[in-house]
Amino acid sequence: MITESIFGKTKDGVEVKEYTITNANGMSFSAITFGAVIRKVMLEDKKGVLRDVVLGYDSVENYEKDDTYLGAVVGRYANRIGNATFELNGEVYKLEGNDNGNHLHGGYNGYDKRVWDAETFEGELGNGVTFKLFSPDLDQKYPGNLEISVTYTLTDDNDLMIDYRAVSDKDTICNLTNHSYFNLGGHDSGSALNQYAMINADFVTEADAKSITTGKMIYVSGTPMDFTSEMLIGDHIDDDYYQLNYGLGYDHNWALNKKEEGEMILAATLENRKTGIKMEVYTDLPGVQFYSGNFLKGELPGKDGVRYLKRYGVCFETQYYPDSINKPEFPSPILKAGEEYKTTTIYKFV
């Protein structure tokens, strides 16, 4: 089932719509045209109680004020670019240094702050909604007119699939992700640290004190970054380990174990044993930023007035590695003129 409603208006008076897609099992998600935000993901726990497992807000105003990217699509380049600078085809591009002089999630007017066009559909795999955005040449100082579409499809197997597509008329860089914060105990259940996570990665990219990748890979075995088997997120998050000290907890890019570039694999899992809700994350992208919500402060009231404090939700941001445009040893985020940026991430609920 697909329903459509008016969610509200931006401060400039632009209408924001919300779409809710429900599958045959009674699982649903709701997404809004502001930031292509996934605002709700509802499913039954093991006792049959309906839980909303993502953090979100009840008003457009709070999404406009938010600086934590709750549920949004971020871009043109998700995560950080060191010194807010990169070079492409001999040309130097200086971006907005919105994070300690580095560039983060597209800068001050990221895709998370735009009102996207939307169209719902009923498809073979499931029903869903496609969001579209046009990002003109030199928008956020990136080269190339970029036509973007992000499609959310909900299958009857409880897969929430995200298909990202983009085409530019000039060579550019592109790295789109979704910034949903999950708490499988429910968005209103407090800390997310009592959940088990697995990340299918033997290596994590080393970050410096400002979360810029150094180019070095850390073998996770024997460190608190080892999620190769399920581990309680809270078990080692406050260990005295230099990477955790820099990130104030988990906020790092794991280099996924892949046999070949573009292979779709199980990248991560998240499980809450109290509610019995488990999520699997699949992606064809090379990395995942596992971010434990260290900067959440509950400044704005969330859904039903709930305040989301530090570590009340965790993100699995599938992506090219941070600062990969300045690290030739990393998989390249360059999108050539006329070629299609095409990647898929699935959040599957089992």
Residue tagged active-site, from 18, 206, 271, 317: 317
Q: How many CB atoms lie within 10 A of CB 65?
A: 12
Place of tokens 């897609």: 21
- 32 CB burial (10 A radius; 0-12, 13-18, 19+): buried
Residue with smaller CB distance to ligand GAL, 213 or 272: 213
Binding mask 67-106 for ligand GAL (x = CB under 6 A): -xx----------------------------------x--
Residue with smaller CB distance to ligand GAL, 79 or 158: 79
CA distance 215 to 75: 22
Write out the binding residues for ligand GAL, residues 310-339 only, by CB under 6 A: 317
Cβ(161)–Cβ(264) below 8 Å: no
CA distance 146 to 151: 16
Of 110, 112, 175, the residue nearest 140 (C-alpha):
110
Binding mask 100-139 for ligand GAL (x = CB under 6 A): ----x-----------------------------------
# of chain residues touching ligand GAL (CB under 6 A): 9
**Residue 251 interacting with ligand GAL (CB under 6 A):** yes
Residue with smaller CB distance to ligand GAL, 21 or 78: 78
Residue tagged active-site, from 179, 206, 252, 280: 179
Residue 94 sits at φ, ψ, to 5 deg, of -105, 115
Give the shortest CB-57-to-ligand GAL separation in angstroms. Answer: 15
**Residue 242 interacting with ligand GAL (CB under 6 A):** no
CA distance 115 to 322: 26
| H helical segments located in 12-83 | 60-65
Binding mask 202-241 for ligand GAL (x = CB under 6 A): ---------x------------------------------
CA distance 105 to 10: 21
Residue 317 a catalytic site member: yes
Write out the binding residues for ligand GAL, residues 275-294 only, by CB under 6 A: 289, 291
- 266 CB burial (10 A radius; 0-12, 13-18, 19+): middle
Measured in residues, the chain has a length of 350
Residue 105 a catalytic site member: no
**Residue 196 interacting with ligand GAL (CB under 6 A):** no
Cβ(320)–Cβ(69) below 8 Å: no
Give the shortest CB-180-to-ligand GAL separation in angstroms. Answer: 11
Residue with smaller CB distance to ligand GAL, 291 or 349: 291
CA distance 249 to 244: 5
Give the shortest CB-291-to-ligand GAL separation in angstroms. Answer: 5
List of residues contacting ligand GAL (CB under 6 A): 68-69, 104, 211, 251, 289, 291, 295, 317
Query: Annotated catalytic sites, by residue?
Result: 179, 317
